[in-house]
Amino acid sequence: MKGIAVCVSGEGSNLRALLAAQRHGTLGGTVTLVVADRDCRGLETARDAGIPTGIVPPSAYPDRASWDAALATALAAVAPDIVVLAGFMRVVGPATLAAFPDRILNVHPSLLPAFPGTDAIGDALAAGVRVTGVTVHVVDESLDGGPIVLQQAVSIVPSDDDDALLARLHAVEHRLLPRAVALMLAGAAAVEGGRVTIGAARAAELPHRRRALISVSDKTGLADLGRGLAALDFELVSTGGTARALRETGLAVTDVSTVTGSPEMLDGRVKTLHPRIAAGILADRRQADHRAQIVAAGIEPFEVVVVNLYPFEVASRRAGIAADELIEEIDIGGPTLVRAAAKNHANVAVVTDPARYPELLAAMQGGIVPDATRRSLAVEAFAHTAAYDSTIARVLPAVLEDGSAGSSIDPFPPVLDLRLERVERLRYGENPHQAAALYRRSGTSSASGPFADGVRLLQGKALSYNNILDASAATALARDLRGPAVTIIKHLNPCGAAEA
């Protein structure tokens, strides 16, 4: 296993991110030494993890060159394959650079070459830029000017101050830095002609942590699902209320905004509509070209997508609900995620029904979800979004109709979709060699309709298709009579009827 030396000066959050990647098997090496220029919390993190530490304080040396030589000696003692400056607030000098040529990485909170130096965040805010970001680069003799390994943009919003922007940048640093280290250690990234080139084919083969995207309106079974996926070492990526619910159970969650680099917008209307999410779901990992493209873009794939949609139909039944209020219950991002995952079911398991969570977790105990299960889940997912859109198309015209003259909303659309729920499979159809099933309109009571499908069979075999037809006709006839009644039907023909 290749060795990694890390230099820190403060809290050590990037060190913790490196150690987390090491635990998950995605770092490609082991942290063997942590060096600081002062006593700091980062050293405590290293000691707690059983990692050797050292302090090389500049105040102990007569000049910068002497300090730099001492730093190089301390690092060389463990012969690391790479040195990582993780929040190290010192500029390394010629001795350290010569000891580790093209093998020192630094993470910086801006899109270099913009805003180098120690106050990159303040400089970006002062300049009024709309986008900043995170850069991981190879260290050379310039100030934050070495060859760039990876970058990710982070949007700046009008309400941002130093602390708010710093928090979002840190979250991106914690993802980007371990990935850059893994690329360099594997030889998938290398300095050539003053620039870093990334071998997409090699990079695509590097291990990555399994990821699940979870965004649900119905929180039923969510805690058990989250715990089950975490036990399988999945990274849980989530949004809003779902992320809060998962965190309340003690689970670690990555916010979608960390993945996208953009905070939620428009009161939550825009959260997951982003190429970093869509590409992570839609990439067909069976194709080398797709793997290479997402690696080049720094995008990690999703293996599981769990989404159920805003409860539009339930909201539509609330008495007196206003049109604007109901429209807010129309899910936009959710159906997009579901359809994308269902389309790419060869690589992604998509779940829209909480009742399926136990089956999903059971299937994953043996590794990936079986093809047959993924296909079945995809069919359910498309049915889920189709029914959702059908409900909106059916309900919305009446809600938007304001009764004004000249309204363009047609109360009798040219096409009506009828949604049915299966009640049971029947013994056979009209003839014994034909299959059949009984359905009822979705959302209706089992006691509704000309024949109540919820009735109890007193004796005999399960009802067949012909039995259902006869029973339906008999029930309809009995209801036309004036009191308690009995009817007899054979092949849809009334054979007798009486009333009390």
pLDDT in tens, 349-363: 999 999 999 999 998
> What are the two backbone dihedrals, phi and then psi, of residue 153, each rounded to the nearest 5 degrees?
-75, 150
Is residue 469 pLDDT above 70, yes or no? yes
Is residue 480 pLDDT above 50, yes or no? yes
Domain identity same for 72 and 115: yes
Is residue 402 pLDDT above 70, yes or no? no
* Residue 410 domain flag: no
CA distance 86 to 274: 29
Quick one: tokens of 212? 């699940």
Mean pLDDT of 365-376: 87
Domain identity same for 39 and 99: yes
Annotated catalytic residues are: 343, 491
Domain identity same for 366 and 479: no
* Residue 465 domain flag: yes
Residue % of the chain over a pLDDT of 70? 95
Mean pLDDT of 481-493: 86
Mean pLDDT of 5-25: 94
For the chain, the domain total comes to: 3
* Residue 9 domain flag: yes
Of residues 498 and 16, the one with the higher pLDDT is 16
Contacts 24+ apart (CB under 8 A), 417-421: 417/390, 417/393, 419/387, 419/390, 419/391, 419/443
C-alpha distance from residue 332 to each of 131, 255, 256, 266, 457 (Å): 26, 19, 16, 13, 44
Domain identity same for 152 and 185: yes
CATH assignment at residue 464: 3.40.140.20
Residue 248 CB neighbour total at 10 angstroms: 10
pLDDT tens digits, one per residue of 263-315: 776 767 777 778 888 889 998 888 888 887 887 777 889 999 999 887 777 77
Domain identity same for 189 and 112: yes
pLDDT tens digits, one per residue of 109-125: 999 999 999 999 999 99
Strand partners, 388: none
Closest CA to 384 of 446, 338, 321: 338
Residue after which a domain boundary falls, among 165, 181, 204: 204
Please report how the helices 222-231 and 240-248 are oriented relative to each other, as an axis angle in degrees rounded to 10: 70
CA distance 135 to 361: 37
pLDDT tens digits, one per residue of 232-252: 989 999 988 899 999 999 999
* Residue 96 domain flag: yes
Domain identity same for 350 and 474: no
What is the average pLDDT value for the chain, to the nearest integer?
Answer: 87
CATH assignment at residue 259: 3.40.50.1380
Residue % of the chain over a pLDDT of 90? 51
Instruction: Indicate the SS3 state at residue 422.
Output: strand
pLDDT band at 405 (very low <50, low <70, confident <90, very high): very low
Is residue 334 pLDDT above 80, yes or no? yes
C-alpha distance from residue 147 to each of 84, 183, 252 (Å): 14, 14, 33
Domain identity same for 157 and 56: yes
Domain identity same for 271 and 165: no
Residue after which a domain boundary falls, among 160, 176, 204: 204
**Which DSSP symbol is given to 324?**
H
Mean pLDDT of 147-170: 91
CA distance 134 to 151: 6
Query: Residue 450: what pLDDT?
Result: 54
Mean pLDDT of 399-417: 63
Mean pLDDT of 398-403: 64
Query: Residue 406: what pLDDT?
Result: 45
Is residue 32 pLDDT above 60, yes or no? yes
Q: Are 115 and 137 in contact (CB under 8 A)?
A: no
CATH assignment at residue 186: 3.40.50.170
Domain identity same for 436 and 353: no
For residue 249, the enclosing domain spans: 211-400
* Residue 431 domain flag: yes
Mean pLDDT of 315-328: 76
Q: Are 153 and 178 in contact (CB under 8 A)?
A: no
Domain identity same for 76 and 191: yes
DSSP for 118-170, written as a single string = TTHHHHHHHHT-SEEEEEEEE--SSSS-SPEEEEEEEE--TT--HHHHHHHHH
pLDDT band at 454 (very low <50, low <70, confident <90, very high): low
* Cβ-based neighbours of 65, under 8 Å, separated by 6 or more: 93, 94, 95
pLDDT band at 404 (very low <50, low <70, confident <90, very high): very low
* Residue 415 domain flag: no
Domain identity same for 121 and 23: yes
* Residue 79 domain flag: yes
Domain identity same for 236 and 162: no
Instruction: Indicate the SS3 state at residue 209.
Output: coil
pLDDT tens digits, one per residue of 217-233: 889 999 999 999 999 98
Residue after which a domain boundary falls, among 147, 169, 204: 204
* Residue 29 domain flag: yes
